[in-house]
Amino acid sequence: MVADGRQRIDKWLFFARAVKSRSLAAKLALGGRVRINRDKAAQASDTVKPGDVLTITLDRRILVWKVLDTGSRRGPSDEARKLYEDLSPAPAPLSGAPDALASLRDIGSGRPTKKERRQTDRLHGKD
């Protein structure tokens, strides 16, 4: 039931497809992983309205969504995307090149690489 443009946070998260079930949405709100306009959602019955900004912590992502509308059902993803505007920051680029870890090892320390092993075998005449 939507009263004067407001909706429970657990229902809204479920309708917006942030989580797979309404019970997971309630656990998310109770666990303090949802903020409504910078205030933690204390319970699943806290309400949201158009214009509110939600900060949602999911696994390894932080979502920042602006509520555009309240939902009436959990519909297809196109319908769910109309309920919010995504304000999330772009993911930070990976620092360093993929082979940056190889340069951390000093030459001559640790186990020999395959190339060093071949050189050692050639030195001992074990071609």
Residue 67, helix vs strand vs coil: strand
What does pTM read for this prediction? Answer: 0.70
Q: Is the pLDDT of residue 106 over 60?
A: yes
When the pLDDT of each residue in the chain is averaged and rounded to a whole number, the result is: 87
Looking at residue 23, its amino acid is: S
CA distance 126 to 17: 63
pLDDT in tens, 31-89: 999 999 999 999 999 999 999 999 999 988 899 999 999 999 999 999 999 999 999 98
Q: Where exactly are the structural domains of the chain?
A: 7-86
In sequence order, the 6+-apart residues with CB closer than 8 A to the CB of 40 are 32, 34
Q: Is the pLDDT of residue 4 over 90?
A: no
First to last CA, the chain: 80
Whether domain 7-86 has CATH 3.10.290.10: yes
What is the share, in percent, of the chain residues with pLDDT greater than 70? 86
